Structure 1
Amino acid sequence: MTPSSPLFRFLPSRLLPALLVLALLLPLPLAAQESTPVIGARVLQEAWSDPLEALGTLRADESVTLSATVTDTVVEVNFRDGQVVEAGELLVRLQDAEQQAQLRVAQALRDERRAAVERLAQLQSRNLAPRADVEDARARLRQVEAEIQGLEARLTNYRVRAPFDGVVGFRNISVGSLVTPGTELVTLDKVDVMKLDFSVPEVFLAILAPGLPLTAHSVAFPDERFDGVVESVGSRVDPVSRSVTVRAELDNPELRLRPGMLMEVVVQRSPREAVVVPESVLIPSGDRQFVLVIDEADDNRVERREVKVGERRTGQAEIVEGLSGGELLVAHGVQRVREGDQVQLLGIADDTTSVSEILAAAREERG
C-alpha cells in the first residue's frame, strides 16, 4: 500500500501519517533461504578414565644367571644364542666321569649289602643267625644307600638345566672350557609376561590400586600399544623424590619386549562410563561452554545448549552435564549456524566415516 493507492483518497488526512509508519514496520516477504550445510557428530557413551603418565622400565617375569658350582671342564653345550628353552632342559654338562665311577662303586656295594641282608634274614628266620647280625647288615645297607643319594645329588651340579621356561642369552662358553664355582654360564629370562616398574608422585597414592588398567608404548614399536594392569604398589615412598614405585604386568606372547626397555606408561585411573563428544563441537564463551544440538524430530533445527565439560583427552571431551548419549551435534560448520536455524546434514563423522569422505560424497552428489 502506497500514498498513491486509491485507498488513501478515501481516508481522512489525519490518519495518513500513522498508516505510513505502520506500513514501514510491517516485514517484507523474504525469499526462501537455503539450509546451512553442516557435518554432525553423535554424543557417545563410552569407557573413560583420567590418564596418569609416567616412564617405566621393563623387567623379565623371572630372570636368573646360571653359574657353575663345581670346578671341571665343559663337555656339552646344548643351546644357541636367544633360544627358547623349556623347564628341565639340559643346557650345559660338565665332565663327571669320576663322579659317575664313584656312583657305580657305591651301587655295586649296595647290591652286595642288600644280598647279605636277604641271606641273614633267611637264616635268622630259621634261628641260624642272631638278630643283631641282621640289624647290623641293614644299617650298613642304609649307609651305602645314603652315600648313593649324596653322589646323585652332587652329580646334578655337573648338569645345568633350565629352572623355568624362557629365553637364553648369549653363549660365552665352549666345550673344553674350564669353569669354577661362580663362573657365569648363561642367562635365562622368562619374558612371555613382563614386569613394568615405574614411579608416580605420592599425591596419587590414594587412587593407585591393583587392577587399574594401563597402556604402555615403546619407541621401538611406535605404532603399537601394550595393555596391562597394575599388580602392586610399593610399600615405601622415596623421601627424596616423594614418589612411589608401581609394578604392572604386560603380556608379551610374541616375545618382542625385552628386559631393560624404557616404556611410556599411561595409567587409566578412575575408570567410568562417560558422555563423550569431539572437541570440535564445543563453543567457548568466557568460562562457559556451549554446543549446537540438532533436533532431528524438528526438521534438523538447531538448539544452542550450555554444557559442563569434565576431563579432556586428544580430540575428545567428557560432558558431565547437559547432554545424553545418542544426541546429534553440529561438529563442522559451527560458525555459520545460529540457534533456531534449520541445517542440511551432509553426514555424521565417526570412527568409520571421516570428514573428508563426507565432503567428497557431497561434492559428487552436487555433480
Structure 2
Amino acid sequence: MIKRIFIVLSLTLLILGALFGLRFYQIGQAISQMKPPPPAVVAAAAVTSEHWGGALTAVGSLTAVAGVDVSNEAAGKVKALHFESGQSVKKGQLLIELDADTDVAELQGLEAELEFAQVRFERSAKMIEKKYVSRSDYDQHKAMLDQASAAVQAKKTLIAKKSIRAPFSGELGIRQVDLGQYLAEGSGIVRLQALEPVYLDFSLPERYIAQLASQQNVIATVQAYPDKRFVGQITAISPAVERDTRSLKIRAEVPNRDRLLRPGMFAQVQIESGVTQPVLTLPDTAISYNPYGDSVFLIEQTGDGLTVQNRQVVTGQRRQGRVEIVSGLREGDKVVSAGQIKLRNGMQVSIDSQPAPGEREASR
C-alpha cells in the first residue's frame, strides 16, 4: 500500500516538474526574443551664436498718471447727481451734491451773529479812543468778532465740501451711489482716471543698467491692438536695484490721445539701446519653463548612442521665437526642441530629420 502511494506521489511530482519546467522554458524563450523599445524620436536644435541689435525687451503694465476713488469728506444724503458712468469730466466739474439745507440755515444764523459782533466791535473801537470803554472790553469784542468770523468760514467750508467736484480732468468709471442715498464720510462715489498720458511701468535685470537713460525711447504693444506701436519715453529709473530680483524698476510716459490704452493693461516693451552684442540663442520650443527654473534636455553621445540629460539654464531676452541663453549651455550644444514630454534622464533618443514645427514655419 505504501509502495503504491509513493509511486503515485513520484509520478505527480514528475508531471508537475515537467509542466513548470516547460513554462519557464517558454518564458525564457519569449524574453530572449523580446527587443528593447526603439529610442524616442525627437527634434533637435543647436545652440547658435547671433548678434542681436541693442533692443531690450520686457513686460510691463500701464498705470494712470492720476487715478483716485472720488469720495466725500462730509456725511450727507445725495441731493443731486451731475454725472453719468463713463463720462469725461474737466477739473473742478461738479459731480454730486449732498443735502446742505440745514447747514445753509445755520450759516444764516452765524452770519447774523457775525454782523452783530462787527457792529459791537466798531462801536468799541470808536469808544476806546475816547476811553469810554476799557481795553479789556475792546479785546473781548475783538475776540468775539474773530470767533464769529471763524464760525461763518467753517460753516461755508462744510457746505462747499457737500458739493463734490472732479479733482482733475479724466474719465469716470462706474457710479457707485444713487440719488437719495446717505453717504458716510469717505464713501466711494466713482473712480476717476487721467488717461492722457499714461505711465508704463516695467523692470529689467541689473546687467542692462548701462544701456538705460532718461528720455530714451520705448515701444509698447498690447494684445488689444497687436498691429499698433505706442512710442513713449523713459521718465524715471529707480536709483536702487531690487534686492530680491536684482532688477531695476523703470517708468516711461506714453501719449494716449486716442484713449486706446487703459490702466491695468499688460504690455510688451522694447527699448532701443543702440548697442549690438553677441548672444547664444535657442528656439523657444526647446525651453521648459518651470517655477523652480528653466531647463532643456541636452543631447549627448554615449557608448549606447544618443542619450538626453536635463540641464538647468538661465534665459534672457526673447525675439521672434528665439530665446537668449545667458548660462548653462555652450555654442554648438544640441538640445531637444520638440518631444520633451516623453523624456527622462539617460533615455536614448534618435533625432528626427525634420526640425520642430515652430522652426519649420519660421524657415518658410
What residue is the counterpart of 1:115 in the other structure?
A: 119
SS of the aligned residue for 1:171 comes to coil
Please give the residue correspondences for 1:229-268 in structure 2 after superposition, counting only pairs within 5 Å.
Answer: 229-268=233-272
Equivalent-residue separation in structure 2 for 1:271 and 1:97 (angstroms): 68
Residue segments in structure 2 that go unaligned for 5+ positions in a row: 1-51, 277-318, 321-364
SS of the aligned residue for 1:118 comes to helix
Q: 1:144 to 1:168 in 2, by over 3 A?
A: same
Equivalent-residue separation in structure 2 for 1:271 and 1:248 (angstroms): 20
What residue is the counterpart of 1:220 in the other structure?
A: 224
SS of the aligned residue for 1:145 comes to helix
Moved more, 66-75 or 190-199: 66-75
Matched letter for residue 63 of structure 2 = R
The reply on whether 1:147 has 2:151 as its aligned counterpart is: yes
Equivalent-residue separation in structure 1 for 2:247 and 2:253 (angstroms): 20
Please give the residue correspondences for 1:73-152 in structure 2 after superposition, counting only pairs within 5 Å.
Answer: 73-152=77-156
Moved more, 231-240 or 208-217: 231-240
Q: Select which of 161, 171, 177 maps to 2:175.
A: 171
Equivalent-residue separation in structure 2 for 1:84 and 1:213 (angstroms): 29
Cα displacement (A) at 1:238:
3.4
Equivalent-residue separation in structure 1 for 2:275 and 2:155 (angstroms): 59
Cα displacement (A) at 1:152:
2.3
What residue is the counterpart of 2:205 in the other structure?
A: 201
Moved more, 89-98 or 115-124: 115-124
Contact 2:219 2:229 in 1 (8 A): yes
Q: If the length of structure 2 is used for normalisation, what is the TM-score?
A: 0.58
The reply on whether 1:65 has 2:72 as its aligned counterpart is: no
Name the count of aligned residue pairs.
227
Per-residue CA deviation, residues 221-250 of structure 1 (Å, 9 max, x unaligned), is 222211111111123433443322211000
SS of the aligned residue for 1:270 comes to coil
Q: 1:149 to 1:271 in 2, by over 3 A?
A: farther
Cα displacement (A) at 1:68:
2.7
Cα displacement (A) at 1:137:
1.3
Cα displacement (A) at 1:52:
0.8
Matched letter for residue 180 of structure 1 = A
Cα displacement (A) at 1:112:
0.9
What's the RMSD between the two structures over aligned residues? 2.3
SS of the aligned residue for 1:140 comes to helix
Moved more, 230-239 or 256-265: 230-239
Q: 1:119 to 1:271 in 2, by over 3 A?
A: farther
Per-residue CA deviation, residues 111-141 of structure 1 (Å, 9 max, x unaligned), is 1111112222233334444443333211110
Equivalent-residue separation in structure 1 for 2:257 and 2:107 (angstroms): 43
What residue is the counterpart of 1:19 in the other structure?
A: none
Per-residue CA deviation, residues 179-224 of structure 1 (Å, 9 max, x unaligned), is 1123211111111110001111221122222111111111212222
Please give the residue correspondences for 1:271-286 in structure 2 after superposition, counting only pairs within 5 Å.
Answer: none
SS of the aligned residue for 2:148 comes to helix
What residue is the counterpart of 2:54 in the other structure?
A: 50
Equivalent-residue separation in structure 1 for 2:255 and 2:53 (angstroms): 21
Matched letter for residue 188 of structure 1 = L
Residue segments in structure 1 that go unaligned for 5+ positions in a row: 1-47, 273-312, 315-367
Q: 1:73 to 1:223 in 2, by over 3 A?
A: same
Equivalent-residue separation in structure 2 for 1:241 and 1:138 (angstroms): 64
